[in-house]
Amino acid sequence: MLFKQKSYDLVLTDYVMPGCSGLELVENVRNRDAAVGVIMLTASGAELDRHTHRLGFTLLRKPLQIDRLEMAVRQALTDRKSEA
């Protein structure tokens, strides 16, 4: 996982991926840096709201609306900057 090699201000991931789920990735990220912004994309109908609160990430449903992604990225980076 690249996150182990260096730090990032933002992680953008999908819920369904080969090898691990987006939730597993977010848990690993949170164990390394609780303050990094995380945005998860999904086309899955899975109920993920409880996980967004527990792990602290933004969930965006597909088909993706680019303006919502732009707002989520701006917010995550603003939050990260204010914690630094």
Q: How far is it, in rounded angstroms, from Cα 40 to Cα 33?
A: 16
Tokens 């990430």 sit on residue: 57
Show the domain range for 7: 2-79
- State the Cα torsion 16-40-45-25 to the nearest 10°: 40
Is residue 53 within 8 A of residue 27, CB to CB? The reply is: no
What's the pTM value of the predicted model, to 2 decimals?
0.90
**Residue 84 domain flag:** no
Backbone angles phi, psi at 61, to 5 degrees: -90, 145
Number of domains in the chain: 1
Instruction: List the chain pLDDT tens, one digit each, 84 residues.
Output: 666 778 889 999 999 999 999 999 999 999 999 999 999 999 998 899 899 999 999 999 999 999 999 999 999 999 888 876
CATH code for position 31: 3.40.50.2300
Task: Give me the amino acid identity at 33.
Answer: D
Amino acid 29: pLDDT: 92
